[in-house]
C-alpha cells in the first residue's frame, strides 16, 4: 500500500481484495469500490460511459439518432434536431396562389401569406396586360397606370424604342471619326450635322478656330471700338482716307486673323497694339505670362499673313497718342505706295 495523503482514506477492492487509498470526495459520490479499471470491468458492474438508451428514427427527416434513457421515460425524443422539430411543429402551411407550392406562413396570420415569395407576390398583384412589342414582337407586361396614358406605341426595351425612332432619321458620316450617326429631319432644319458627338466636334481644329474667331468678332461688335482704335481711325481720316471706302476695320482675313485695319486694294494691314495687353518692351522690361503669350500669338499671326502676301504694320499705343506724325510717316513710306493703291490720293 502506497503512502497515504491527508485527503485520502483506505479502502479494500471488492474484486481482488487489495487495499488502496482513495480520496474522500470519490467515496462520498459512490465510488472508491475498486482499485483499478481492470477490477471494475472484471466485476461486471455497469460502466460509467455505457449507453443505456436506444436508437430512434426522426419523425420529420427519418434519420437515426440516439435517445438517452431519461428522455425515454418522459416520452420525448421525436426529432433528431431543433431544426426538424421546428419544421415538424409548424401549423401555418399554406398553398401559393400563383405557383401552387406549399410554404410556411410565420405566426399563421389571417390577412397575409397568399404567395410564397416576392416574385409570386409581384405576379399576383399585377393588374396590367401583356402587350406585344411593335419592333421585335415579344410580349411585355405593362401596368394599368401605364396603359391609362394611352401611348401610341409600346416597346419591350430601350433598344427597340431607339430602333423604332431611327426609322425616319437620316444617316450622316462624322467628319472626324468617320462613324455613321442619325439625325431627325426637324433637327436638321436648325443646324447642319457634321459631327457625331461633342468630343469629335472639339477635335476638329478648323471648326474650333472658326468658332473662336466668330466669338471674337461678336465680342468686338458688342463692345464697340476701343479708345486706341478710335484714335487710329481719326489719324487715318486726317491723312485723307475714308472709312468703308479706302479701308475697313475689324475684318477677318484668310478666315483666321481678325485685323484692326485692312487696305484690301494694296493688301496692307495695320494693327493698333495696346502697351499693356501686347507687352510693349519699351514700357515693360519683363513681360508677364499674359503679355508673353500675346506677343508670341502676334508673331505667329504676322508670319501667317506675310505668307499670304500681306504687308503688316504694328503701332504701339504710346506712338499713336504721343507721336502721330511718326505713325503717318511710317504709313506713307510703306513698301506699297498709297498713291497707287488708293487712287493716288494725296496724304496730308
pLDDT category of residue 267 using cuts at 50, 70 and 90: confident
Confidence check: pLDDT of 113 > 90 = no
Is the pLDDT at 78 greater than 60? The verdict is yes
Rounded distance, CA 165 to CA 184, Å?
Answer: 9
Supply the pLDDT for residue 336. 55
Exposed, middle or buried: residue 282 (CB in 10 Å: 0-12, 13-18, 19+)? exposed
Would you state the pLDDT for residue 346? 47
> Can you give the pTM of this predicted structure?
0.44
**Which of 238, 257, 237, 258 has its CA nearest to residue 247?**
237
Rounded to the nearest integer, the mean pLDDT of the chain is: 83
Q: What is the mean pLDDT of residues 181-205?
A: 85
DSSP annotation of 198:
H
pLDDT band at 49 (very low <50, low <70, confident <90, very high): low
Instruction: Convert 229-263 to b/e letters by CB count within 10 Å (16 or more is b).
Output: bebbbebbeebebeeeebbebeeebeeebbbbbbb
Comparison of pLDDT for 93 and 302, the residue scoring more: 302
Looking at residue 38, what is its pLDDT? 86
State mean pLDDT over 5-12.
Answer: 82
**Which of the two residues, 79 and 348, has the higher pLDDT score?**
79
Range in 119-128, 217-226, 314-323 the model is least confident about: 217-226
How far is the C-alpha of 246 from the C-alpha of 225, rounded, in Å? 18
Instruction: Tell me 166's DSSP state.
Output: G
Alpha carbon of residue 72 to chain centroid? 67
The CATH 3.40.960.10 domain(s) of the chain lie at: 224-341
Q: Report helix angle 227-238 to 324-332, nearest 10.
A: 60
pLDDT of 348 reads 42
Mean pLDDT of 76-92: 84
Give the span between the Cα atoms of 273 and 298, in whole angstroms: 10
pLDDT > 60? residue 286: yes
* Per-residue pLDDT, 193: 87
Q: According to the model, what pLDDT value does residue 317 have?
A: 92
Instruction: State the average pLDDT over residues 103-107.
Output: 75
**Could you tell me which residue, 207 or 348, shows the higher pLDDT?**
207
HSE, side-chain direction, 13 A CA sphere, residue 303: 6
What's the CA gap between 217 and 246, in Å, rounded? 21
Q: Per-residue pLDDT for 138 more than 60? A: yes
Does pLDDT of 3 surpass 70? no
Residue 347 pLDDT class (50, 70, 90 cuts): very low
Residue by residue, DSSP assigns 317-336 as HHHHHH-HHHHHHHHHTSSS
Buried b or exposed e, range 186-216, using 16+ CB within 10 angstroms: eeeeeeebebbeeebbeebeebeeeeeeeee
Asked whether the predicted pLDDT for residue 83 surpasses 70, the reply is yes
For residue 106 the three cell numbers come to 410565420
Helix (H, G, I), strand (E, B) or coil at 253: strand
Cα dihedral: 325, 284, 286, 316 (round 10): -30
Average pLDDT over residues 68-93: 81
CATH superfamily of 224-341: VSR Endonuclease (3.40.960.10)
Return all residues near 34 (Cβ < 8 A) that are at least 6 apart.
Answer: 13, 14, 15, 40, 43
Backbone angles phi, psi at 64, to 5 degrees: -80, 145
| CA–CA dist 129, 136 (Å, integer) | 18
- Confidence (pLDDT) at 109: 62
Q: With bands split at pLDDT 50, 70 and 90, how would you rate the model's confidence at 339? A: low
Amino acid at each position: 500500500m502506497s503512502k497515504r495523503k491527508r485527503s485520502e482514506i483506505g479502502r479494500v477492492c471488492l474484486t481482488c481484495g487489495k487495499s488502496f487509498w482513495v480520496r474522500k470526495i470519490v467515496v462520498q459520490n459512490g465510488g472508491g469500490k475498486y482499485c483499478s479499471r481492470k477490477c471494475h470491468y472484471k466485476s461486471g458492474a455497469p460502466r460509467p460511459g455505457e449507453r443505456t438508451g436506444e436508437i430512434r428514427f426522426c419523425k420529420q427527416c427519418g434519420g437515426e439518432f440516439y435517445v438517452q434513457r431519461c428522455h425515454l421515460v418522459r416520452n420525448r425524443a421525436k426529432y433528431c434536431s431543433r431544426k426538424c422539430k421546428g419544421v415538424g411543429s409548424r401549423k401555418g402551411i399554406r398553398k401559393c396562389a400563383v405557383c401552387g407550392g406549399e410554404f410556411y406562413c410565420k405566426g399563421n396570420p389571417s390577412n397575409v401569406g397568399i404567395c410564397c415569395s416576392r416574385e409570386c407576390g409581384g405576379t399576383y398583384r399585377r393588374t396590367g396586360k401583356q402587350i406585344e412589342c411593335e419592333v421585335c414582337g415579344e410580349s411585355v407586361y405593362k401596368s394599368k397606370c401605364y396603359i391609362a396614358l394611352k401611348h401610341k406605341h409600346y416597346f419591350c426595351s430601350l433598344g427597340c424604342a431607339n430602333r423604332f425612332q431611327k426609322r425616319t432619321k437620316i444617316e450622316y458620316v462624322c467628319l472626324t471619326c468617320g462613324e455613321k450617326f442619325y439625325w431627325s429631319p426637324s433637327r436638321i432644319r436648325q443646324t447642319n450635322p457634321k459631327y457625331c458627338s461633342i468630343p469629335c466636334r472639339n477635335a476638329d481644329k478648323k471648326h474650333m478656330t472658326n468658332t473662336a474667331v466668330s466669338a471674337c468678332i461678336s465680342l468686338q461688335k458688342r463692345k464697340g471700338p476701343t479708345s486706341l482704335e478710335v484714335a487710329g481711325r481719326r489719324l487715318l481720316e486726317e491723312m485723307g482716307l475714308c472709312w468703308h471706302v479706302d479701308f475697313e476695320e475689324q475684318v477677318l482675313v484668310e478666315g483666321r486673323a481678325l485685323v484692326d485695319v485692312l487696305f484690301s486694294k494694296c493688301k496692307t494691314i495695320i494693327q493698333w497694339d495696346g502697351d499693356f495687353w501686347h507687352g510693349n518692351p519699351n514700357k515693360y522690361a519683363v513681360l508677364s505670362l499674359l503679355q508673353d503669350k500675346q506677343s508670341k500669338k502676334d508673331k505667329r499671326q504676322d508670319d501667317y499673313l506675310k505668307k499670304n502676301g500681306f504687308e503688316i504694320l504694328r503701332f504701339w499705343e504710346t506712338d499713336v497718342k504721343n507721336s502721330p506724325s511718326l505713325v503717318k510717316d511710317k504709313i506713307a513710306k510703306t513698301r506699297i505706295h498709297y498713291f497707287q493703291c488708293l487712287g493716288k490720293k494725296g496724304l496730308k
